[in-house]
Amino acid sequence: MMVGIGNPVYDLINTPLTRTSERVLSGCSTNACIVCSQLNCEAALVGCVGDDYRTETEEILTGFGVKPWLYPSRETGGFSLLYDDRGNRELEILGRADTIKEVPSEVLDADALLFGPILQEVDPSLVVELSELPSLLFCDPQGFLRGIENGQINHFFPQSFKEILPLFSVVKPNELEARIMTGKNPMKYPEQVLESLYSFGAEICIVTLAGDGSLIYDGSELLKIPPYTTEARDPTGAGDTYAAGFIVEYMRTGNLYESGMFASCTASLWVESIGPYVEITEEKVRERVGILEQR
């Protein structure tokens, strides 16, 4: 079982190819859980949501086979996301849900834990507590690196997060997050960035580079994973679903390159539509892996 820990959010999305008129369910851990479940991996989500979206969230997650462990919140979190034609985005806060203060006892039996906060809702002390488990601990750092200043999102690398990085099996920043954590552009200095990330203590470091693929490093070899090129109608959640694909395949095979290829093709299916109603099957992913291997 894979358990995602992070608040579900409801976003408004505006890209060069699409625009949502109503807020749609999203969130790092939420998207990852939905995809894991579709890839025949039991999944559950731990997070906080307001009364306004609680029933809807439970219905959507349950419909995808994800077990919802939702705690009450003063409001539901969410962002207004504006993308330019290069995939860069601006975030405006629509709401901020409460901090996750506890997890159900069933989490103790998880094979993998995905820590995917949206906006500082996972306290580092919770990571320390759960690091005692034998589970694979996967970190998508986006919410650990975000703060609020004058009502706007800012990015920083807090010391409290740096101190818990050695507890993770895998850490996966995107290009912006890797630059925040290392001070260097991973597109220009891939080896230096991955070495720097690895020095923080996680066993495996991954940097996703959107249309340029991804990089994986375990201290011995730097793997370059090609992208599966497709038309991205909505890039929101690409990294989240990359994480899902990687976790599922890595737990099955233990092979970094195969897991990276599977993850890349999983994310390519997600971005072709607006989440969370995206049909992703293992058959579809493996078909794309086969095509990618021949390129």
Domain of 281? 2-294
Question: What confidence score (pLDDT) does residue 86 get?
Answer: 67
- Return d(Cα 113, Cα 70) in angstroms, integer: 16
DSSP state, residue 22: S
Place of tokens 């990089």: 215
Residues shown for the chain: 295
Question: What confidence score (pLDDT) does residue 295 get?
Answer: 80
Strand order in 214-217's β-sheet?
66-73, 43-50, 2-5, 112-115, 136-139, 170-171, 204-208, 214-217, 222-225
- Could you give the 3-state DSSP secondary structure of residue 84? coil
CA separation (Å) from 35 to 179, 198, 199, 295? 27, 27, 30, 25
Mean of pLDDT values over 171-189: 97
pTM over 0.85, yes/no: yes
Count: domains in the chain: 1
pLDDT digits (tens, 9 = 90+) for 97-117: 999 999 999 999 999 999 999
Residue 265 has pLDDT above 90, yes or no: yes
Contact predicate 182/195, CB 8 Å: no
Give the CATH number of the domain where residue 126 resides. 3.40.1190.20
Mean of pLDDT values over 220-248: 93
